[in-house]
């Protein structure tokens, strides 16, 4: 509604200017009018992320592009498989590719999807701030762009983003860490360290922000002690979400700050990094600390069930994929992007966010969380 209102206002403004200035002015003689008209045209273009053709939908069996950042973790591999199968089941022609965590490769893949006539392109970005140019090309070609799991930044070439609440995810991770410390490590204070995700992923700072909103008051009152003093996201981030880099940092923290201390807990931004942290602690002869996680990867689900990893956060891939295809179906039918009450500013525009709720998983609730997931239930034995 807001977009259509802006479009209407722009058209009215242009008509009014035409009435006051007459019909025969040349560009040299009507600079004020032309400037206003140009502004109205720009407003019309910026306000209308829906192309004229999209208002009437598009043909059944259309090509749908899906550009994923990589297949190096279970959730992205699941996304590749589910998009391929479920788009075919819904009657579309899927074009699903992964970019091996290379921005240039992802740009080229999106360009190819445009050239191949994709009506919608779903993008899980390698770096959400580096795709503006190619996404603008997609917009100019009348293609819908849906961000998947990560915000697409600094561009008008995005129609919406499907993701789990990233700040809420961080809050859940921190709350689970505190719960685990109380259950397993006796009375405070607790020695902890903090890890963040890949800085190129716009979710990673939000995970950390959400977690610190819970942890910082406990740091301030002395309940938690960050022995290394490293509490800024830039200090704690793990480039490329690389497990090996996380393990190397954990090795350095233990050797540098815990030669005569026990580490009680670690905030971990995902499951792969959690397992790297735990492995580092075991190698150093430390008792396993309370460690958080994310993605409910199979190996970490087993570790949670056995008590090696305290928690993970489930963001079911099937829910994200299903929501994305629901939006694609709406576009195909000519109904446009569904309504949502959640938006996020991407540096240029406010983007519609289709946000799903994450769920924390511990040994205590794992069976109930995965009651509808036979493959993961099978791990809880």
pLDDT digits (tens, 9 = 90+) for 216-255: 999 999 999 999 999 999 999 999 999 999 999 999 999 9
* pLDDT for the residue numbered 268: 98
Using pLDDT thresholds of 50, 70 and 90, give the confidence band for residue 56. Answer: confident
Q: Which two tokens stand for residue 350?
A: 């406010």
Buried/exposed 86-112: b ≥16 CB within 10 Å, e otherwise: bbeeeebebbbbbbebebebbbebbee
Classify burial at 248, counting beta carbons within 10 Å of its beta carbon; exposed 0-12, middle 13-18, buried 19 or more: middle
Q: Per-residue pLDDT for 186 more than 80?
A: yes
Q: How confident is the model at residue 88 (pLDDT cuts 50, 70, 90)?
A: very high
Q: How confident is the model at residue 13 (pLDDT cuts 50, 70, 90)?
A: very low
Using pLDDT thresholds of 50, 70 and 90, give the confidence band for residue 123. Answer: very high
Backbone angles phi, psi at 105, to 5 degrees: -65, -40
Looking at residue 2, its pLDDT comes to 38
**Residue 55's pLDDT is what?**
55
pLDDT at residue number 14? 41
Query: Taking 50 as the threshold, does the pLDDT of residue 354 lie above it?
Result: yes
20 has a pLDDT exceeding 70: no
The pLDDT value recorded for residue 356 is: 97
* pLDDT tens digits for range 313-332: 999 999 999 999 999 999 99
Question: pTM of this prediction?
Answer: 0.81
Per-residue 3-state assignment (H helix, E strand, C coil) for the chain:
CHHHHHHHHHHHHHHHHHHHHCCCCCCCCCHHHHHHHHHHHHHHHHHCCCCCHHHHCCCCCCEEEEEECCCCCHHHHHHHHHHHHHHHHCCCEEEEEECCCCHHHHHHHHHHHHHCCCCEEEECCCCCCCCHHHHHHHHHCCCEEEEECCCCCCCCCCCEEEEECHHHHHHHHHHHHHHHHHHHCCCCCEEEEECCCCCCCCHHHHHHHHHHHHHHHHHHCCCEEECCCCCCHHHHCCHHHCHHHHHHHHHHHHHHHCCCCCCCEEECCCHHHHHHHHHHHHHCCCCCCEECCCCCCHHHHHHHHHCCCCCEEECCHHHHHHHHHHHHHHHHCCCCCCCCCEEEECCCCEEEEEEECCEEECCCCHHHHCCCCHHHHCCCC
Which of 2-16, 225-239, 263-277, 359-373 is predicted with the least confidence, judged by mean pLDDT? 2-16
Mean of all residue pLDDT scores within the chain: 89
State yes or no: pLDDT of 188 exceeds 90. yes
Please report which confidence band the pLDDT of residue 126 belongs to, taking 50, 70 and 90 as the band edges. Answer: very high
């Amino acid at each position: 509604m807001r977009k259509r209102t802006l479009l209407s206002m722009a058209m009215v403004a242009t008509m009014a200017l035409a009435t006051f200035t007459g019909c025969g002015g040349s560009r040299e003689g009507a600079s004020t009018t032309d400037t206003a008209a140009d502004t109205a045209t720009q407003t019309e273009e910026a306000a209308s992320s829906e192309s004229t053709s999209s208002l009437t939908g598009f043909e059944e069996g259309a090509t749908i592009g899906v550009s994923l950042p990589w297949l190096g973790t279970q959730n992205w591999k699941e996304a590749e498989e589910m998009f391929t199968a479920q788009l075919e089941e819904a009657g579309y022609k899927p074009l699903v590719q992964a970019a091996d965590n290379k921005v240039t490769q992802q740009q080229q893949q999106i360009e190819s999807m445009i050239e191949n006539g994709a009506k919608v392109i779903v993008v899980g970005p390698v770096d959400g701030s580096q795709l503006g140019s190619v996404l603008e090309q997609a917009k100019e070609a009348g293609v819908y762009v849906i961000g998947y799991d990560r915000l697409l930044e600094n561009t008008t070439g995005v129609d919406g983003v499907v993701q789990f609440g990233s700040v809420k995810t961080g809050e859940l991770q921190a709350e689970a860490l505190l719960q685990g410390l109380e259950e397993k490590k006796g009375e405070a204070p607790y020695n902890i360290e903090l890890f963040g995700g890949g800085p190129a992923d716009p979710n990673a700072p939000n995970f950390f922000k959400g977690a610190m909103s819970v942890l910082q008051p406990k740091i301030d009152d002395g309940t938690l002690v960050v022995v290394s003093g490293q509490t800024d996201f830039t200090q704690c981030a793990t480039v490329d979400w690389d497990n090996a880099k996380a393990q190397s940092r954990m090795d350095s923290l233990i050797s540098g700050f815990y030669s005569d201390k026990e580490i009680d807990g670690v905030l971990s931004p995902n499951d792969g990094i959690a397992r790297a942290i735990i492995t580092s602690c075991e190698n150093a002869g430390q008792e396993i600390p309370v460690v958080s996680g994310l993605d409910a990867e199979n190996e970490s689900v087993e570790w949670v069930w056995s008590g090696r990893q305290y928690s993970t956060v489930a963001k079911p891939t099937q829910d994200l994929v299903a929501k994305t295809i629901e939006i694609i179906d709406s576009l195909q039918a000519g109904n446009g992007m569904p309504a949502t009450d959640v938006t996020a500013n991407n540096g240029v525009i406010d983007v519609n966010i289709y946000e799903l709720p994450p769920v924390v998983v511990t040994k205590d609730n794992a069976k109930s969380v995965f009651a509808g997931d036979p493959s993961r239930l099978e791990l809880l034995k």
